[in-house]
Chains A and B, each alone.
Chain A
């Protein structure tokens, strides 16, 4: 009988080390074997991976689009203005005191006083207002302080704090924050992101079913092998392993396809948006998922594939029992 030359493993390992080595060997063999099986059925594997990719691209694209809109909002140059309407017939010293006080406040860049007369004059110049104002017997406009905060438009909470503070001043009648649109934009973005998450959750569930069904078919195809393995003493873990790897591979490949497709789509859109941005004189650049984002997408996809396989194996392996 020919004696085989010992490969990498030495026969002098303790039984415990030997079992650990065998366990690692089987993991490697399962990963390799399941990959080879995917490779041998390229059309079917590609179809499954593509279905996974499409399901991943929808929420990922939505997420990236929303991030871009948010970035656009952050880049908005004009800070919001806060109009502080004072009580009428206030004497100028009180107004000056408040103006100085506000100017020294951190967070405020600039304070401008607009007297009722100035406001009336500027209103008169606007088309259509002149005739209306002539019908009034007195100037109805209050003295006003226009504040420019240093925060930009998305720091809604900080601007709100300043506004609430100023409203408590005794000579202040009303504070008007011209930033409802900022708040609304943020609310829309928040809603959009929640939708993206919801969509991602729903489609992940779909992915579990897609991967689970593919693995179920794999179990059916390898029924004889599973029966023999069970008869010669294979544990459920041993039988499960190659199927779990197969699920993870499907997920990873789907994630890679989705990342590449998204990168190409955003690259194509980039020149178009750059032209548009130039027309609006902004330096906005469309950003894609990025390397880190793509890696996260691929990892999540692999995890979903693994979970789908685990569900299918848990449900269907018990059906394959010798006897």
Chain B
């Protein structure tokens, strides 16, 4: 599903965020990406999202070389990826329903499809009864679940989550992880950046460890 071939990224400031990174993630796989702050986790995800371009090497997603994606095609590329952020990135000027509906409105689905799939996604994360509320009135865990519903509503092939449990207590974090595991079981490839080692150990999944831009670990912890 995702393949990195000798990928390096050097920012214009001279900072080397990634250095010769190689890995291959199979479809339906769920992997953790770990490392200290500045180890290159965010940069790696930005390269997949095409928010950044690699200085050298190739990133291949679903058989497509991402260096071939023209700037005008980037929005369409991003529609295949669901993203979950640590700080949720919800819009507080609209209801939970309309936050989740945003990717589908952008992708041009009909009102009928949007209503159906937004409610299905909210049902999945257990927030169907909160669809009319403003997300500002929800707890941190609930906001994160709205963010997850928004990420999966479009049925993306790939789900990226950047520190999705960073601000949550251990029990909520485990619930969120179980939710991800359910998505993986229905065919979504999932990459989760996290430095919660205890949680990662409990999940017992493949881990990619980054250190100063180098991939130093690849396997179960």
Which of chain B's residues has its CB closest to A1's CB? B123
A10 to B179, CA, bound (A): 32
Tell me the residues in window 53-89 of chain B with beta carbons closer than 8 Å to chain A beta carbons: 75-79, 83, 89
Q: Assess the B52–A323 pair: CB atoms within 8 A.
A: yes
Q: Is B20 in contact with chain A by the CB < 8 A criterion?
A: no
Q: A10 and B75 in contact (CB under 8 A), knowing A2-B119, A238-B106, A323-B52? A: no
Q: Is the CB of A22 within 8 A of B105?
A: yes
Check B79 against A22 for contact (C-beta < 8 Å): no
Report yes or no: A18 in contact with B110, Cβ–Cβ below 8 A.
yes
Q: Is the CB of A230 within 8 A of B75?
A: yes
- Check: A229 CB closer than 8 A to any chain B CB: yes
Q: Is B112 a contact of A233 with CB atoms below 8 Å? A: no
Interface pair A233/B119, CB less than 8 Å apart: no
User: How many A residues have CB within 8 A of the partner chain?
Assistant: 35
Contact assessment for B113 and A233 in the assembled complex, using a CB-CB cutoff below 8 Å: no
A79 to B49, CA, bound (A): 79
Contact call A13/B110, Cβ cutoff below 8 A = yes
Please state if B102 and A229 are interface contacts (CB–CB under 8 Å): yes
- B116 interface hit (Cβ, 8 Å): yes
Q: Whole-angstrom distance from the CB of A24 to the nearest CB of chain B?
A: 10
Instruction: Please determine whether B112 and A6 come into contact, CB atoms closer than 8 angstroms.
Output: yes
Per the bound structure, the CA–CA distance linking A19 and B115 in Å amounts to 16
**With A1-B120, A9-B112 given, is the CB distance from A233 to B51 under 8 Å?**
no
Given known contacts A19-B108, A22-B105, A322-B51, is B119 in contact with A234 (CB within 8 Å)? no
Which of these, A2, A3, A232, A238, contacts B150 with CB under 8 Å? A232
Q: Find chain A residues with CB under 8 A from B205 CB.
A: none
- Complex CA distance for A3 and B111, rounded to whole angstroms: 13
Query: Considering the chains assembled together, what is the distance between the CA atoms of A7 and B123 in angstroms?
Result: 21
Indicate with 1 or 0, residue by residue over B142-158, a CB within 8 angstroms of chain A CB atoms: 00000000100010000
Question: Would A234 and B51 be within 8 Å (CB), given that A6-B112, A13-B110 are in contact?
Answer: no
- Taking the complex as formed, is B46 at the interface, i.e. its CB lies under 8 A from any CB of chain A? yes
Instruction: Find chain A residues with CB under 8 A from B135 CB.
Output: none
Contact indicator B78/A233 (Cβ below 8 Å): yes
* Contact of A234 with B112 in the complex, beta carbons under 8 Å: no
**What A residues does B110 contact at CB under 8 A?**
9, 11, 13, 18, 21-22
Binding site for B on A (CB under 8 A): 1-4, 6-11, 13, 18-19, 21-23, 25-26, 29, 224-225, 227-236, 238, 321-323
Nearest Cβ on chain B to A146's Cβ, whole angstroms: 76
Instruction: Please name all residues of chain B whose beta carbon is closer than 8 Å to the beta carbon of A1 when the two chains form the complex.
Output: 119-120, 123, 128
Cβ-based interface call for B168 (8 A) = no
Sample of 5 A–B contacts (CB below 8 Å): A7-B112, A19-B108, A233-B76, A233-B77, A238-B75
- Nearest opposing residue in chain A for B113, CB measure: A11
Contact B112 A224 (CB under 8 A): no
Chain B positions 101 through 138: 1 when the CB is less than 8 Å from some CB of chain A, otherwise 0: 01101111111110110011001000010000000000
CA of A133 to CA of B33 in the docked complex: distance in angstroms? 116
**Distance A3 CA – B112 CA, assembled complex (angstroms):** 10
Nearest A residue (CB) for B81: A233
Q: Are A26 and B75 in contact (CB under 8 A)?
A: no
Inter-chain contact A232/B111, CB cutoff 8 Å: no
Return the contact of A234 from the options B83, B106, B116, B128 (Cβ within 8 A): B106
B220 within 8 A of A: no
A308 vs B75: C-alpha distance when bound (angstroms)? 26
Chain A residues with Cβ below 8 Å from B216 are none
